[in-house]
Chain A
């Protein structure tokens, strides 16, 4: 018999043999080999020790109030969500498309109308300050002086003023 450790599925076969999961016929054929093969014997002995050690590790019993706590969480979390979601879901099923369309239109309109106000106030204030340049002020004062002189000439040339 070929040593299981030399074939591809050997480890799988030896694991099954160690745990007693190998069928009777295959187990009976393998037993004499394991007895005489030091490598296989070491594998099987070691693996049986692992099974036994793991068997000793018993988990603690589940708390007696486990179910009560779970059902309370279900009542709190699931029921709350269903209370909120059920009317919405049924409304969507009955009037899904019109509601969705109306919602989409409302959101789009809101976004479009809201766009100008989206510009920060500070930015608009800053742009007004930038427009008042010194040469512009000087030019405006010159134009006001010219206008004042023109008005004065008009008054002196009028017939009323000659009287």
Chain B
């Protein structure tokens, strides 16, 4: 699908990318549209950042910065690509900077604290046994470590491909690479993950 959207073509924008049209409304001063965009993408941005930096507090802080930048940029926004491409480009940029700055080094030491907070469904209706919880913890830790050992760009590509279900072309735009480069990046990443996680079947 052609992502490029022409400015000023309201109908075309809506047909191709509803988010881009909402952002154009934000540009015109409609704060409610920003709220709609926030509601729609808040969780996916926080979760993506969480899996990138593997710390919940840092991920939320970075996500706040992502949406703050989106709001600040409303005046100059031009829908030249899908809104989510732009959104995840900001998120990826911030995550990579955070990882390179080592801002979350201290937080990495608290990984165990985070992993103790299982999602709500794990402890509500069908209360898992202590053994089941322990098995889950061990498996989760393996997954987290496997993802954490991937080079940063491979990690971002896998997370966008697996959890955000993005096409190769969109991931390529987010990471500013060619589509063929992204395919080879992803295949190498999955090869590493298969070597580390295949035994979990």
Contact = CB atoms under 8 A, between A and B. Distances in A.
A73 B60 contact: no
Contacts of B117: 60
Interface of A: 11-12, 15, 43, 45-54, 56-63, 66-67, 69-70, 73-74, 77-78, 81
A11 to B, nearest CB: 5
Interface string B82-122: 00000000000000000000000000000000100101100
Given A66-B64, A73-B68, A50 B197 contact: yes
B198 A49 contact: yes
A73 B64 CA distance: 9
A58 to B, nearest CB: 4
Please report whether the interface of chain B is mostly helix, strand, loop or mixed according to DSSP.
helix
B46 A57 contact: no
B56 interface: yes
Given A59-B46, A60-B114, A74-B71, A52 B183 contact: no
A5 to B, nearest CB: 11
Interface stretch (B2-10, B125-133, B134-142, B170-178): B134-142
A37 B175 CA distance: 35
B38 A56 contact: no
Given A49-B199, A49-B201, A70-B67, A57 B143 contact: yes
B1 interface: no
Contact of B51 (A12, A57, A73): A57
Contact of A66 (B42, B68, B146): B42
